[in-house]
Amino acid sequence: MSALPIVVGVVLLLIAAFAGVYGRRQHRRSALVEGTETTDVRDIREEGRVELKGTVRTENAFDSPIRGDPAVVSAWEVEEWDERGDTEMWETRAEGVYATPFTLDDGTDSVTIDVGTHVDDVSSGTGIDDIQVSAVDVDRFLSTGVTVDGVTAAIDGFSAETTVPPDAEPPERIAAFVRGETGVATQSDSVTNVIDIGNAHGERRYYEATLSPGDDVYVLGHARATDTATHPLKPDDVVIEPVDGETFIVSDKPESELVETFGRYTYAYAGAAIATIAGIAAIAYGAGVV
């Protein structure tokens, strides 16, 4: 019996499990976007899942935390260069979605969208659905934005807006963001940087993309009747928001592009199958079965 092939096999099976879970999640998103018919706002008459397309209207935009743009939704991510142990990689430290209620106007009527605020300290994930690839956030890498608490903000222009070296004073906006967001830990010190070449241990990149007033928007969410609603419901009687157990998507991308992007789940399934076969083979070899 050889221990190394068995360890390799177990790692490959864990990768297969992650790829399978991620592929299933993307498959679900793709099917929902493609299979849900778009509803005119004026035709909202009952509670439940609804797909809407329109324009962002609001007078209550906030300054986004990274860019400082006027926004109704900010999708952000913080990653840090880590050189501890035998690895050197960018690791996602935290990601989130900040939002303020806004109005979606599709020309037939308008309705309130309340995305809410959602933050994930990635290092706190404990279950298979919380697994992250430390070298890169998969949703960002595949241009599907940020996903936290079942809320996916898939917004164009998601890029590294600010890079902060270790031991450096960050811009005041970034410093205020870190102070105010408990999900973002303090930046690491440059423990190895005396002899560092290239990226320095503790270097950070802050990513962001925003939805602003006047932007075209796609929303797949849950219509909930307000406490003062009358029946039959009218657009003024409902709020579109996330609910536990359901997918919520907000995006500035066309529906067809979302379907195509989420449709890349087939690659995840293929990767899961290959990793599973290779993992089982490695374990069998290490155990002396083959």
* Cα torsion through 53, 58, 62, 67, rounded to 10: 50
Confidence of residue 119 (pLDDT cuts 50, 70, 90): very high
Nearest in space to 79 (alpha carbons), one of 71, 69, 89: 89
Q: Is the pLDDT of residue 17 over 50?
A: yes
Least confident of 90-104, 132-146, 162-176, 188-202: 132-146
**pLDDT tens for residues 199-252?**
778 889 999 999 999 999 999 999 999 999 988 899 999 999 999 989 999 999
Share of the chain above pLDDT 90, in %: 43
Higher-pLDDT residue of 126, 162: 162
Q: Is the pLDDT of residue 260 over 90?
A: no
Least confident of 31-40, 191-200, 244-253: 191-200
Count how many domains the chain has.
1
pLDDT of residue 153: 94
Amino acid type, 247: T
Mean pLDDT of 4-26: 70
Q: Which domain holds residue 176?
A: 3-286
pLDDT of residue 86: 67
pLDDT of residue 1: 65
Confidence of residue 126 (pLDDT cuts 50, 70, 90): very low
Confidence of residue 131 (pLDDT cuts 50, 70, 90): very low
Query: What's the Cα-to-Cα distance from 193 to each of 165, 187, 188, rounded to whole Å?
Result: 11, 14, 11
Q: How many C-beta atoms surround the C-beta of residue 31 within 10 A? A: 15
Mean pLDDT of 262-285: 69
Confidence of residue 141 (pLDDT cuts 50, 70, 90): low
Higher-pLDDT residue of 149, 4: 149
pTM: 0.80
pLDDT of residue 118: 94
Nearest in space to 35 (alpha carbons), one of 266, 255, 265, 267: 255
